[in-house]
Chains A and B, each alone.
Chain A
Amino acid sequence: MRTKIEVRALKKSFESDKGPLPVVEDVSLTVRDGEFIALVGPSGCGKSTLMNMMAGFIQPDAGSIIIDGMLRTRPDSRGILISQQGSVFPWLTVRENLMFGLNGHALPDKRAIADHYADIVGLKGFEDSYAHELSGGMLKRTELARALVVKPEILFMDEPFSALDALMSLRMRNELLRILAKERHTTLLITHDVEEAIHLADRVVVLSPRPTRIQAVFDVPIQHPRRLSSREAQELRVTILSELGVAREELGS
């Protein structure tokens, strides 16, 4: 398959009181078109910084991000970032949020496209609602739909479901898989949940503590729909967790 994203020797430090603090150190990664990559690592390891650089929001100190053979220097609608805190505009309705990124369409078309995606993520009937009238799960759906509307080639997802309860998080994962099966976006997902990574990703990239480096990469050779209770999935989970420094006896299995 064609290469979509090529990350080459990426480095980033932030200024602190004690001088420069290296956050990302020499990360190189190749992502194929349509591939789903999960990035897992300890909290505060620089995962978000890495993703922000890939989405074009932060400039690296050294190294480069090449998307479709072109150097990425700033964010654009080909790669939409879905952040942990969420950024659904609270002053717009669900429909207005979904229409936000649509340029160059006539208004009736915009409405039709927005309503179509609202339907896809299961928000039918809530098109005229405001953020404060929605539950946490519905907010995430709105955010996801708003990204999908502009048909982004890449979805950058920074712990999108971590604020949801376990049941809603699982439901959102299944929704995401269902949507991705239809519209094959290249997807990068940051998560601290190894099960989530195994459930969703084609490859799981394990990152080291700060300054972050790629510590290990695991293929997930399991057919969808995946059963997390399967032997394969469980073994992979234990392997990834021990790579993250969780000892086997702590896993209780």
Chain B
Amino acid sequence: MARIKEMLPALALIAVLIAAWWGAVAATHSVIFPTPWDVVTGTLELLENGTLWRHIAASLLRVGAGFGLAVCVAVPLGLWMGWVAGAYRTLNPIFQILRPISPIAWIPIAILWFGVGDASPIYLIFISSVFPMVVQTTAGVHTIEKRYLRAAENFGVSRRTLFRQVVIPAVLPQVIVGMRIGLGVAWLVVVAAEMIALHSGLGYMIMDARNAGNRYDLVIAGMIIIGLIGLSLDSTMRILEGTRWARWRYAH
């Protein structure tokens, strides 16, 4: 009940915006811009013929593959760079140059290397989400408080115990933050990548709706669905932040 009360202002604002949108379309007698109701019927149409689920699944699979690959590379690499000063000094400058390059700029090269199949968007998602996760993981290792490392040194534990019981758990909250950022970027990039050369996915769905007869109701339906899925992906990562592996960091 209290939660609903908290959400009330936001819900009210959304209602006001939809009303304003509707009013504006009605007042201008636009023939091309859809009303909210057009968007609803458009969405139902997509649901009925099954294309919506197909596009959502395609986008999620690409994000899953690219992001999963990025996690597998970024976490060990970040741990290594955080722990070994030489690795950090060697790799960090290169990453700092590559990181600000927009994933969109990689599109021509992705097509050149991987063609127009699924590999291109997966590569773009990988490229866009790997860097924030490497940076966060490395920073996580660098910010482990010295007192904990000293305590571990004092007890003379094995390297294995040091990593399993001190380094990894100390870094985990930062890794999860990196994953949250990475997944957010990945979801942004998949839509852009799908607009270029593919024949499935929510990005393609939006471009196709525009090209095949100016179906702006479907364009807006696609946008809203992208927003809602992005929100639920982020909420999932937030749940990870609340688990026992990360909770100690935020509880005081």
Contacts and interface: CB of A to CB of B under 8 A. Distances in A.
A132 B251 contact: yes
B3 interface: no
A55 B161 CA distance: 21
A141 to B, nearest CB: 16
Interface string B216-252: 0000000000000000000000000000110111011
A103 B147 contact: no
A103 B161 CA distance: 10
B154 A81 contact: yes
Given A89-B148, A90-B248, A100 B165 contact: yes
A77 B245 CA distance: 27
B117 interface: no
Contacts of B249: 90
B150 interface: yes
Main SS of the interface on chain B? Answer: helix
Contact of B150 (A57, A103, A132, A150): A57
A103 to B, nearest CB: 7
A164 to B, nearest CB: 18
Given A83-B147, A87-B150, A92-B169, A150 B245 contact: no
Which interface class (under 10, 10 to 19, 20 to 34, 35 or more) fits B?
20 to 34
Contact of A76 (B152, B156, B158, B252): B156
23 contacts: A77-B154, A77-B155, A86-B147, A87-B147, A87-B150, A87-B151, A89-B148, A89-B165, A89-B166, A89-B169, A90-B249, A91-B248, A92-B169, A100-B152, A100-B155, A100-B161, A101-B156, A103-B157, A103-B158, A130-B247, A132-B251, A132-B252, A150-B155
Interface of A: 55, 57, 75-77, 80-81, 83, 85-87, 89-92, 96, 100-101, 103, 130-132, 150
B170 interface: yes
Interface of B: 147-148, 150-158, 161, 165-166, 169-170, 172, 244-245, 247-249, 251-252
B154 A75 contact: yes
Given A75-B153, A80-B154, A87-B147, 10 more contacts: A57-B150, A77-B154, A77-B156, A81-B154, A87-B151, A89-B165, A91-B170, A92-B165, A100-B155, A132-B248
A196 to B, nearest CB: 22
A87 B146 CA distance: 9
Contacts of B161: 100, 103
Nearest to B251: A132
Given A91-B248, A92-B169, A130-B248, A101 B147 contact: no
A157 B165 CA distance: 24
Contacts of A80: 154-155
